[in-house]
Structure 1
């Protein structure tokens, strides 16, 4: 079962595919499963496939040993002439995001570990936030250490902040958050809590982030498949 940690051990890649129909999402998931199950690329550590729930689309949370290993994969004939064309036929947008995990927060019951697996029942939220290059560190700080108040929110499980390093299909500087909740109801209740009922620390940290974010995009997911390298 893959684990997320801010230990600098892996390059984290989030491949986000958008589509416009349920059958295309199913086809994407099938193709992704085949690729993950056959993966034997040098430097590949793990892949975890997510199925979009609020909007059609998929996400693949991938761990690599290094940027160099990933770029060799991108430069390969299979990726350029089979994988990308195949996904392009089924998607409306492809974003391949390279990141480093810089902050994690877990509810006490997780024992300090963030795991991602289809054996869990997490309601997963992935948000991509565009930011001016000079404000990336400030946004990471607003989204990371000042989010301890989440531990008091019913249904909260984990919150991970990733620094965007480079991307294909997305221009500019970005930060990604990856969050796990107990279920959709608890997440929706959190998102719709009136400001008058929110604690001061939440209001302050969200105001800081909102002042820095240029553009944001999010979707919710459930994990449907994962595989880890045997090496």
Structure 2
């Protein structure tokens, strides 16, 4: 089962595919499973496929040994002439995001480990924040260490902050958060708290994020498939 750690060991890639219909999401998931199950690329470590919940789409959380290994995959004939044309046909947007994991936080009972697997029942939230390059470090801090108050929120499990390095399908600098919750109900309740009823700590970090972020997009997911090199 893949683990997320801010140890600099892997390049983390988030491939986010949006579509406009549930049946197209099913087609995307089928194609992604096929690719993951046959993956044997030099430097590939693991892939974990997520099915969109709030909106149709998919996410693939991928760990690579290095940027060079990933770019070799992108330069391959299969990727250019089979994979991308197939995905382009059934999606409304494709974002291939290369990232560095900079921060992880977990409820104490999780033992300091963030795991991703279809064997778990996490309700996963992925958010993408646009940011001016000169403000990226500040946004990473606002979304990470400054949100220790989340540990007291009912239903919260973990969250990870990823600093965007480079991307295809997304312009400018960015930061990504990957969060795990007990269920949809607890996450919806968290989002539904009015601004005036939020804790002072939450209001402070919300205001800081709003001042730094130039754009914001999100979706919720369930992990449906994973495979690691050597399996």
- Is the pair's TM-score, using the shorter chain for normalization, greater than 0.5? yes
Distance in 2 of aligned mates of 1:98 and 1:49? 16
Where in structure 2 are the equivalents of 1:72-221 lying within 5 Å?
A: 72-221=72-221
1:39 and 2:20 are equivalent in the alignment:
no
Distance in 2 of aligned mates of 1:129 and 1:42? 31
Distance in 2 of aligned mates of 1:163 and 1:216? 15
Distance in 2 of aligned mates of 1:97 and 1:67? 12
What do the CA deviations read for 1:116-139 (whole angstroms, capped 9, x no partner)? Answer: 000000000000000011100010
Indicate the residue corresponding to 2:9 in structure 1: 9
SS of equivalent to 1:125: strand
SS of equivalent to 2:78: helix
What do the CA deviations read for 1:175-209 (whole angstroms, capped 9, x no partner)? Answer: 00000000000001001112222111111111111
Distance in 2 of aligned mates of 1:116 and 1:65? 18
SS of equivalent to 2:9: coil
Deviation at 1:109, TM superposition (A): 1.5
| Structure 1: tracts of 5 or more residues without a match | none
Indicate the residue corresponding to 2:58 in structure 1: 58
Distance in 2 of aligned mates of 1:85 and 1:98? 21
What do the CA deviations read for 1:140-186 (whole angstroms, capped 9, x no partner)? Answer: 01111111000000000001000000000000000000000000000
Deviation at 1:5, TM superposition (A): 0.3
Cα RMSD of the aligned pairs, angstroms, is 0.7
Distance in 2 of aligned mates of 1:189 and 1:31? 34
Higher mean displacement: 196-205 or 58-67 = 196-205
SS of equivalent to 1:15: strand
With structure 1 as the length reference, what TM-score do the two structures score? 0.99
SS of equivalent to 1:30: helix
Distance in 1 of aligned mates of 2:218 and 2:62? 18
Distance in 2 of aligned mates of 1:184 and 1:210? 24
How many residues were matched structurally? Answer: 231
Indicate the residue corresponding to 1:224 in structure 2: 224
Deviation at 1:58, TM superposition (A): 0.2
Q: Where has structure 1 moved over 4 Å in runs of 4 or more?
A: none
| Structure 2: tracts of 5 or more residues without a match | none
